[in-house]
Chains A and B, each alone.
Chain A
């Protein structure tokens, strides 16, 4: 199975800040990387697919980048509603696997 390693595991930032979350795959996943947001007590929601494509309705302050084994999610101008756990997921090979998650809190 492809292993997905996310960092950091937790992150504290202030409103208006820019934050970046990293995701490292154990092998090349050819940009088949998605990011999900899970708000407290809710189910995950798709933010980004194919490394940098924004899902419908997702604010433009979210962006994704990367290739090969290294990917990142950037949130510009952090808002209070962005407090969530963020997961990366490789969808290149079965079984699809998720990173351990990054818990984003407000400072």
Chain B
């Protein structure tokens, strides 16, 4: 059974760094891609970036200067780090399994993050 689960702090201070972990099961990180997507409350979806199955990454140019995605295949985990957080980064962050490049065929339950002092 394919599962993804995001974990991380629910509250981050402004200007600090957000660190999220996506723990996967039911598939291998070396066979499938893992995307990060975020969704502000009541709004649409924004693609953030991807860890390709081969180990390389691709980022949304709007976030690239602040974003880093990495992985630990031995732990079945993909990590997202984003620095210089501001209030507009208050949103739900999802990790999703990628099928055929940018199609996302399984999603985690989401991690809600609030940026506030």
A and B physically associate: yes
Chain A positions within 8 Å of B, measured between CB atoms, are 32, 34, 36, 42-46, 49-50, 55, 87, 89, 91, 94-101
B101 neighbours in A (Cβ, 8 Å): 91
**Given A96-B102, A98-B45, 6 more pairs with CB closer than 8 A:** A36-B45, A49-B99, A87-B45, A89-B45, A91-B103, A101-B44
B103 neighbours in A (Cβ, 8 Å): 34, 46, 49-50, 89, 91
A55 neighbours in B (Cβ, 8 Å): 105
In angstroms, Cα B42 to Cα A81, docked, is 20
In angstroms, Cα B96 to Cα A12, docked, is 30
Interface range, B side: 20 to 34
In angstroms, Cα B39 to Cα A100, docked, is 11
Chain B positions within 8 Å of A, measured between CB atoms, are 44-47, 58, 60-62, 94, 96, 99-110
A100 and B102 in contact (CB under 8 A), knowing A44-B107, A45-B107, A95-B61? Answer: no
Are the CB atoms of B100 and A91 closer together than 8 Å?
yes
Are the CB atoms of A43 and B44 closer together than 8 Å?
no
Are the CB atoms of B107 and A43 closer together than 8 Å?
yes
